[in-house]
Amino acid sequence: MNTSATTTDETRIPAFAAERGRRNVSRIVWMPLLLLALLLAGCSANGIAQGMSEDGRLRITATTGMVADAAREIGGEHVEVTTLMGPGVDPHLFKASQGDIRKLDRAAIIFYGGLHLEGNMTRILEKMAAQKPVVAVTEQMPRDRLIGTGEGESGEYDPHVWFDVQLWTSAAKTVQETLMREDPANAERYREQGERYLNELEELHRYVQNRMDEIPQEGRVLVTAHDAFGYFGRAYGVEVVGLQGISTAAEFGARDVSTLRDYLVERGIRAVFVESSLPARSMQAIVAGAAQRGHEVAIGGELFSDAMGEPGTDEGTYIGMVKHNADTIAEALR
């Protein structure tokens, strides 16, 4: 294909062969067009060319907003990032639609959370992995830093790693290394932007620490609808109680509600929190139950757990989301 395209080019403009100086100029003019033709012709054969946006950026598809945010921060102007799960979407229950599969198909690289966070996407991600890099951002996290879900030797871990900001730096590094490897022409830029982002995450970690330190030790209890905050609790010294299990796919029953209600009454806990990606009714049931037992519990606010806020808002970024949570928890419990 290369040879024939070049031959066509030469034969169509024979006048340039006669005059060396003019021919050199013509090369400068024709080379980009020739490259474009080769690029278009090579689309189906070349993975990267297929995964490029119209303006020449690397197409990246990410499952959750948190993963997409890391790709956007580190990839900057060289990447076009598409997120499958928008605000309020629960990743544990998410199923890829035909439109989502197209977004995965178009990508040069796919990033996902892993550790069974996207439990219903395992097969489609495996299928995509035969065609292109499909990278779990948690793949390099030291296993001894992960929280086991206590189901014997099944090797399962709590996937909500993004709430331990220091641990999440490992995800950012994995994104950075993948971009540098898959797009070496822009590696230096990914190195720079990755370094900047990692510094911002270090700063964020200290911010959350400082906000949690405002809460008296005995009041550091975070009650939410599902167990999304285990890493948060461990990293920042907060006891975490969830109504549901690690995945929202497990239903909670009346007994869970009464157990949690009694716990709130006994501990004298004043506030519980709702989550943006889950219906608020379970926590409302707990508040009503506690009131019946003469204990007043407030809804302390809405936390972002498995999905970020609206794009274009502070909470629509990973850093903004974590800050929002830390601020909401500190204001309600201190």
Q: Which residues would be at the binding site for Zn ion (CB under 5 A)?
A: 228, 306
Residue whose CB is less far from Zn ion, 100 or 306: 306
Q: Cα dihedral angle (121, 127, 130, 133), rounded to 10 degrees? A: -20
For residues 137 and 128, what is the distance between their CA atoms, to the nearest angstrom?
Answer: 16
Crossing angle for the helix pair 318-333 and 65-75, to the nearest 10 degrees: 130
Q: Is 271 helix (H, G, I), strand (E, B) or coil?
A: strand
Residue whose CB is less far from Zn ion, 182 or 306: 306
Chain residue whose CB lies nearest Zn ion: 306
The distance of closest approach from Cβ of residue 242 to Zn ion in the complex, given in angstroms and rounded to an integer, is 9
The distance of closest approach from Cβ of residue 37 to Zn ion in the complex, given in angstroms and rounded to an integer, is 48
Residue whose CB is less far from Zn ion, 109 or 117: 117
Residue whose CB is less far from Zn ion, 31 or 250: 250
Residue whose CB is less far from Zn ion, 151 or 266: 151
The distance of closest approach from Cβ of residue 93 to Zn ion in the complex, given in angstroms and rounded to an integer, is 10
The distance of closest approach from Cβ of residue 255 to Zn ion in the complex, given in angstroms and rounded to an integer, is 21
Contacting residues for 228 by C-beta, under 8 A, at least 6 apart: 160, 163, 242, 275, 305, 306
Burial code of 75-88, b = ≥16 C-beta within 10 A, e = fewer? bbebbbbbbbbebe
Nearest Cα neighbor of 101 from 80, 114, 84, 115 is: 84
The distance of closest approach from Cβ of residue 92 to Zn ion in the complex, given in angstroms and rounded to an integer, is 5
Residue whose CB is less far from Zn ion, 164 or 183: 164
Contacting residues for 322 by C-beta, under 8 A, at least 6 apart: 162, 163, 165, 204, 208
- Amino acid identity of residue 272, one-letter, is V
Residue whose CB is less far from Zn ion, 228 or 274: 228
The distance of closest approach from Cβ of residue 308 to Zn ion in the complex, given in angstroms and rounded to an integer, is 13
Query: Which residues on neighbouring strands pair with residue 134, listed in sequence order?
Result: 110
Q: CB–CB of 192/170 below 8 Å?
A: no
The distance of closest approach from Cβ of residue 306 to Zn ion in the complex, given in angstroms and rounded to an integer, is 4
